[in-house]
Amino acid sequence: MNDSMHQFINNDYKSLSDYLFSFTGNEFAIISSIIGFIISQDLSIDQVNSLGNFLESVGQFMLAKAAQDQVISNRNKRNYK
């Protein structure tokens, strides 16, 4: 694994998440719009499409993982009652 990938993997994403979770829903939506606008400015249409699909894929993974974790958590709570 190259150094840049190793550095990326070892970043402190919990702190970033905690920072993002401190915003209200409106602030969260506005910030995401601004970030999307800024990132897409110097990219071609194909690059915007590819990066957008990549980010959608990351989000889908996170949603699927959270849903499955919730199913297991709920099942465990029912079994302990």
**What confidence tens digit (pLDDT) does each residue in 10-69 have?**
777 778 888 888 999 999 999 999 999 999 999 999 999 999 999 999 999 999 999 999
Query: How many Å apart are CA 41 and CA 46, to the nearest integer?
Result: 13
Predicted local confidence at residue 39, as pLDDT? 94
Could you give the CA distance from residue 56 to residue 62 in angstroms, rounded to a whole number?
A: 10
The tokens for 70 are 């919730």
pTM of the model: 0.70
For position 81, what pLDDT does the model report? 60
pLDDT of residue 8: 74
Residue 4 dihedral angles phi and psi, to the nearest 5°: -65, -35
- Judge contact between 64 and 57, C-beta under 8 A: no
Q: Which pLDDT value is given to residue 18?
A: 86
